[in-house]
Chains A and B, each alone.
Chain A
Amino acid sequence: MTALYELLSVQFAYDQAMVLDIDEFRVAGNTITAITGPNGCGKTTLLNLLAFLQLPDSGTLNFRGQPVNVSNWSRLRKRVSYVQQKPYLLNMSVRENVELGLKFRNQPNNDRRRRSAAMLDDLGIAHLAERSAGELSGGEVQKVAIARALVLEPDVLILDEPFTHLDQRSVGFFESLITLLRDDRGKSVVFTSHDPIIAQVLSDRIYSMLNGRLVPCAMTNMYSGHVIADQHLFASSHLQIHIPEQIQSGTHLVIDPVHLVLSRSPLQSSMRNAFQGRIVALQEQSDLIKVSIDAGEHFQAVITHEAMRDLDIHFGDPVWVSFKSSAVHVF
């Protein structure tokens, strides 16, 4: 099946400073894709490419198998909706803001009214319709911007840090909305988040970004070091971690938190990495528990409430962290 997006050997530079250097990146249709990473790592630039606001300096950007270029990008732009990290609402009413994209598409006035009213109602902000955009709170601005994007019924919804300005209740609502868009409407969603746990919970595929490069996993557990190729090990400052045999070089290692297995005693299993540590933090996040373990290096694992009850773990308890060598990514 043709990928929705396909980026091959894509590079992008601002003033000769390389901000994106992606070997390969594919987004399948009808999926939720999350991109995490620190500020300034290139996430927004990648979204700008996916929203067809910029074209790569080199490499290939395909949308549904079609190469994107200056002759078709303004047409393709109408098939995606992009909500910026700090959305800009025009100096007009909320309803007029939501109708704006439809107006650009020359939709008749009554159709615009009907669709914008329905969308505002769906998002629970119908009461804001006649309010001036300048009077809204940060969270309300975010909701209106999402309404303005969704009313266009795009193939893909692209969200840059969508949860930054939302309160906890709204975060829950938008998490459900994103899932609904995929499951019931057959849409694709690509979003960035600095919070790898939210990204992990919501997405079908998670990518981490560091210095413009993409790694196909969350970057919660990332360590610097070097590969000892002949022993198939990665030596970080405090641990030696087993890695797949084919990896010959790299200076960073990441382990997806969902692949960490916690146990009270060493496990009899095929997992080649097992380290004993102590629980240094427990934090509830999006219906999951984030467990921080100090085992020489600092590990973060994600478990369910049920698993936590079964393990009967508490702050300060000793615990074993195990994971397969195939669960690590070295770059």
Chain B
Amino acid sequence: MDYFSQAIAEALVLVLSLDAEVYTVVWTSIYISILAVCLAAVTSIPLGIVISLKSFPGKPLLLQVLNTLMALPTVVVGLLLYGLLTRQGPLGELGMLYTPLAMILGQWILVSPIICNLTVSAVSSADPRLHTTCMTLGAGTWQQGLVFMSELRLGLMAAVVAGFGRAIGEVGVAMMLGGNIEGFTRTMTTAIALETSKGEFELALALGMLLLLVAFVVNGFLFRLQRKSR
């Protein structure tokens, strides 16, 4: 118990001392996850709205696949992209492996099904009169999409929050595609794994605390935004 409480105390000192190494790791995590989630939101929200509003053959199957992809293991995404991006792989010439770009790509794939699926749920649970109202007022497809985004902003924000939670907390993609390079691709989760294995439990714990804090602050910000737009 002494060991654990002592580690917590030392972790707190590290957090409060604004250690540069720690905060570089935190910043890397944040910007990679934010960019991946933004990319996923831009692509998956419109896709989710279209999937929900349109009828087409194979729609139930697509929804089932999307549901399954929500539970996509991060290491599987990491493994598949590693195969594509490694020097011998088909996209190896791009030299993306072990870069933040590869991590963003991986997290985008990981987060997209979550945002897409939750968008489909939000649109499906919307008042059916909304669609009719848009049509009777003469809205085109894009205009309808924008109206849906505006009307369902609370549900869509929840989808983005869930996606961010998934991105910031994942370790498989960050480790396999980022390579845990200090000051470049080292994120909070990969650093926690590394420091723990090295026996630097205090540093790992400090990063764990900051990870929770980041998740808390981001959720708090989005929660305020939701209340404001209600």
User: Which of B135, B140, B151 makes the CB contact (< 8 A) with A90?
Assistant: B151
**A14 contacts B by Cβ under 8 Å:** no
Inter-chain contacts of A149 with B (CB < 8 A): 136
CA distance A72 to B136 in the complex (A): 14
Contact: B150 with A82, CB < 8 Å? Answer: no
Task: Tell me the nearest residue of chain B to A88, going by C-beta.
Answer: B129
Contacts of B132 in A (CB 8 A): 53, 84, 88
Tell me the complex Cα distance, A288–B129, Å: 35
Query: Is there an interface contact between A105 and B129, defined as CB atoms closer than 8 Å?
Result: no
Query: How far is B132's CA from A87's CA once the two chains are assembled, in angstroms?
Result: 10
Taking CB atoms, residues of chain B closer than 8 Å to A78 are 138
Across the interface, A91 reaches (CB within 8 A) one of B138, B140, B151, namely B151
0/1 interface trace, chain A 70-97, chain B, CB 8 Å (1 if under): 0000100110011010111011100000
Q: How far is the CB of A291 from chain B (nearest CB, A)?
A: 39
**Are A101 and B129 in contact, CB atoms less than 8 angstroms apart?**
no
Collect the chain B residues with CB atoms within 8 Å of residue A199's CB.
none
Interface residues on A, range: 20 to 34
Q: Which of A1-59 contact B (CB under 8 A)?
A: 51, 53
Q: Residues of A contacting B139 with CB < 8 Å? A: 104
B130 within 8 A of A: yes
| Complex interface: chain A residues within 8 A of B6 (CB) | none
A82 adjacent to B143 (CB under 8 Å): no
**Interface: B133 (CB within 8 A):** yes
Residues of A within 8 A of B143 (CB): 103-104
Please pick, from B129, B147, B150, B151, the residue contacting A84 in the complex, using a CB distance under 8 A.
B129
Q: Is the CB of B127 within 8 A of A88?
A: yes
Q: Which of A53, A86, A90, A103 contacts B136 (CB 8 A)?
A: A53
User: How far apart are A57's CB and chain B's nearest CB, in angstroms?
Assistant: 15
Q: How far is the CA of A100 from the CA of B151 in the complex (A)?
A: 13
Flag whether B137 is at the interface (Cβ < 8 A). Answer: yes
Residues of A within 8 A of B150 (CB): 90-92
Is there an interface contact between B130 and A152, defined as CB atoms closer than 8 Å? Answer: no
Is A187 engaged at the interface, CB distance under 8 Å to the other chain? Answer: no
Q: Does A148 contact B (CB under 8 A)?
A: yes
- Mask, A133-169, CB within 8 Å of B = 1, is 0000000000000001100100000000000000000
Asked whether A105 and B133 contact (CB < 8 A) given A90-B150, A91-B151, the answer is no
Quick check: A51 and B140 within 8 Å, CB to CB?
no
Q: Within the assembled complex, what's the spacing in Å between the Cα atoms of A87 and B137?
A: 12
For A84, the chain B residues whose CB sits under 8 A away are 129, 132-133, 136
CB distance from A94 to the nearest CB of B (A): 15
B142 to chain A, nearest CB (A): 10
CB distance from B139 to the nearest CB of A (A): 5
Candidate in B139, B150, B151 with the most chain A CB atoms within 10 angstroms: B139
Contacts of A103 in B (CB 8 A): 143
Q: Are A81 and B151 in contact (CB under 8 A)?
A: no
A77 / chain B contacts, CB cutoff of 8 Å: 135-136, 138
Give Cα distance in the complex from A264 to B96, angstroms.
Answer: 98
Which chain A residues numbered 78 to 134 have a C-beta less than 8 Å away from chain B? 78, 81-82, 84, 86-88, 90-92, 100-101, 103-105
Give complex CA distance A68, B136 in Å.
16
Minimum C-beta distance from A210 to chain B (A): 25
Q: Are B137 and A148 in contact (CB under 8 A)?
A: yes
Residues of A within 8 A of B151 (CB): 90-91
Alpha-carbon distance between A39 and B83 when the two chains are bound, in angstroms:
62
Assess A104 versus B136: contact at CB under 8 Å? Given A90-B147, A90-B150.
Answer: no
Residues of A within 8 A of B138 (CB): 74, 77-78, 101, 104-105, 152
Distance A100 CA – B136 CA, assembled complex (angstroms) = 11
Separation of A51 and B147 alpha carbons in the complex (Å): 20
> Do A51 and B136 touch (CB < 8 A)?
yes
Q: Are A86 and B129 in contact (CB under 8 A)?
A: yes
Q: Do the beta carbons of A100 and B127 come within 8 Å of each other?
A: no
Note all chain B residues with C-beta closer than 8 A to A105.
138
Q: Which of B135, B137, B140 contacts A100 (CB 8 A)?
A: B137
Q: Smallest distance from the beta carbon of B227 to chain A beta carbons, Å?
A: 14
| 8 A-B pairs with the lowest CB-CB distances in the bound complex, closest first | A88-B129, A101-B137, A82-B136, A78-B138, A88-B133, A104-B139, A104-B138, A104-B143
Q: Which A residues fall within an 8 A CB radius of B?
A: 51, 53, 74, 77-78, 81-82, 84, 86-88, 90-92, 100-101, 103-105, 148-149, 152
Given pairs A84-B129, A152-B138, 6 additional interface contacts (CB within 8 A): A74-B138, A87-B129, A88-B130, A90-B151, A91-B151, A152-B137
